[in-house]
Amino acid sequence: MGSTRRAFTEEYKASAVEFVLNDGRSIAEVARNIDVHEMTLGKWVKKARAERAEPAGSLNEDERAELERLRQENRRLKMEAEFAKKVAAWFAKDQQ
């Protein structure tokens, strides 16, 4: 007979994590009190710590990809503008 997997709401997870991070309790203690496996709570805490460590203005994957695309386009356009300047200078010199 297989075991059923328990599902926890995000609010429940957040509350459990707050006991560890804000109240200074150990993961083992909180896990025992709320009847959750210690490793499960440990993963929740690790994820919360990683999310808190990210700067507020950090970019997500889509934004990073767009930023890289825009940087490449900017480099290409700068190179084209420099080329156009050189061509214009060459024509101006040739006209004299």
Q: What is the pLDDT of residues 36-74, one digit of tens each?
A: 999 999 999 999 988 887 666 777 889 889 999 999 999
Instruction: Answer yes or no: is pLDDT of 84 > 90.
Output: yes
- Cα–Cα distance measured from residue 25 to residue 17, given in angstroms and rounded to the nearest whole number: 10
- 3-38 pLDDT, tens per residue? 788 889 999 999 999 999 998 889 999 999 999 999
The domain limits of the chain are: 7-55, 62-96
Answering whether pTM is above 0.75, one says no
The Cα 14–Cα 59 span in angstroms is 23
**Whole-number average pLDDT of the chain:** 89
- At residue 79, the pLDDT reads 96
